[in-house]
Structure 1
C-alpha cells in the first residue's frame, strides 16, 4: 500500500511539473488580461518583456496633454524621465488578480515636480481686489494655482489608466486685500437675498461660451431702486457681431441653430433667483419648446429672450440690488442677488401638467401650471404651453 502511495505522489508531482512547464511557455493567465487596450492573454511569458518594450516605445511617441483653465500644455515625458518599468509591469501582469493590469512607471521626481511648479507659476491667477466701476462691482479674486503634488498624483493616475490628457483644477491660496463682501457693505447691499443654480454640464461648446459671455455681462450689475432692468438692453442682440457663437435655439418649438443660443439659461437662472425675492417681474416669456436638452429648470420656470421680440424685465421697488452671475469650474451657473434689506420671504413652487395634446408626428403640446407659494399660501399662478416629444411629454406627466 505504501508503495502504491509513493507511485501516486510521483504521478501527481510529474503532472504538476508538466503543468508548470506548460504555463511557463504560454499565457501568464488563463483569464483575459489587459494592459490598457492590449490583450495579453495569448502571449507567452517569454514574449512579455519584448512586447512591453514596444508598448513603452509607442507610449513615449504619443503626446500627453495637461489642461489648465482651457489651455493645453504638452507633458514632456522623455525629458522628465518617464518610461514604463518593464520588470515591475511584467510582474504585475503575472500576478494579476483582475482583468485590467495597472502599469508601473519610472520618472525623475525632481524634474517632474520642477516642471509642475513652473506650470503653476505660468497658469496662476493672481489675487485681485474687489472694486466698483461705474454701475458694476468687479469681484475680488483669491489667488488660484495648481498644487504641484496633487497635480503629479492626477497625472500619474491618468497615465496609468491609459489616458492621453488630464485636466488640472486651480485651488485657492492667497486672498485679496479687499473682498467682494466689503464692497457690497460700502454700497449698502450686504444681504444675500437669493441664489439659484443650473447645470451647464454636457453643453455644446458654443452654448457654453454664450452662457459664460452673457453671465459676465450682467455679473456685478448694480440696479438702483425702482430702476427697470431689461435683459435685451443690457446684453444686446447677442449676435455674431457681438462675439456670440452659433448654438441650439428654439424656432417654433423645435431645436434649430442660431447665434446666441444658450443665453436663455442665464435668463432662466436669473428668473428663478428673482422668484425667491420681492422683485416685480414686468415681462417674462416661456420658450416655445421644452426638451431634455434644455430641461435645466422645470417647465414653467424658464424664461426666453429674443432681441426685438421677447425681453425679460423686472424691478425692485423698495431697494437697490446687485446681480452676480458666473459659471464655475464644475460648469455650474449660479446667479445670486444681494440687496439693502434682509429677505424674510419663504417661497416654494409647484409644477402641474394640466394637459398633453397630440401635435405633429411624434410631437405633443404640453400645458403646465406653475404656482408660487409664500409661507404656504398661493401667491402667483400661471400657465405655459410647449411643443415637445410625445415620449418626453409622457415622462413629464408622470413626474409633475
Structure 2
C-alpha cells in the first residue's frame, strides 16, 4: 500500500515537471511571436517576432510621394508610433500564465483602417507640399478702357487634391512611392464668358461738389473698388463686401454722414452716393434687389426714396445677377460726377438700355468719365 502511494506521488511529480517544462518551452517560443492569423494588407505575418513584424509593417507603408520627376519623402514618426502601439496589443504576454492564455488567442486581421499611417501627420505634409504644386487659376478679364471693352484670356490652374492623395496612399501599402493626385482648376470666367458681355443694361449718373475734397476722395475710392468688378450669373452682390470697410487705413477721410436726424462727420462719408448710383443702374437692368435702405434725411444726388444708404457691418446694398451671363460693373468719376454702367448679356427680362439716364442737373455731361 505504501509502495503504491510512493509510486503515485512520483508519477504526479513527473507529470508536474513535464507540464512545467512544457509551459516554459511554450512561453519561450510564444512570448515574442505573433499569433496565428496575423494578416495585414493580404500578407500573413504569423509567427514573426515583434521586431520582425514591426520592421515589415513599417516597410509596407509608402515612404514618399512623387510629382512628375520630383520625390518628396514622408515623415512617419506618428505612423510608426501607431504601429508600435498596435503591436503592444498583439504582444501582450507578460507571464507564463499569459503564455497559456495566448495559445487560445484568435486570429488577427489588420486592415488599413485600424493600423498604418497617421492621417494628421500626412495631411500636414501634403498641405505644405500643396504650396509647391498649386498654381492659381488666372481668370479671363474684361475692362472698359477708352470707351471700349477690352478682353484678355485666362489660364487654367492646378491644385493638389489632398484628400484624394491621402486615399491613394492608404490604398498603396507595399509600394515605396505614390504619385500625388493633382486636379486641374478650369478658367472661370473663361474667354467665352467675357466675350458675351457686350451690351449696356444699366447706365446712371449722379453729381457731387468737387470742392468738398474729403467727400470727393471717398466717392472716388469706392468707385475704384467697384470698377471692373465681375458678378457671375446667379450670384449675389454685396456693396460692403466689394468696397470693404471705410477706414482711415483704407484711405477714406472724414466727411458728412447722417446719424438719425443729425449730420455728423464720419469715415467714408459720401460712399452712399456710389451705392445709390449703382442702385439706379441695377433698377434699369431689372435685377432682383435683395437689400436696400433709405437715408434718414434727403440727399441731393437722388430723388426721395431712390437712394441706397450703406453702413459697413450694419446696412448693405445687395442685388442678384439674374441674367444668364457675367455682369460687369464700370464705375468712373469725373470733375464732380459719377457714372456707373452695367454691361452684360441681355434677354427678354433684361433688355439693352437704349437711353442712359441720370439725376437731373443743368450742367453738361463731362467727356472725361467715359
Output the TM-score relative to the length of structure 1: 0.41
Structure having the higher Rg: 2
Relative to the length of structure 2, the TM-score reads 0.44
Higher relative contact order (CA 8 A, sep 6+): 2
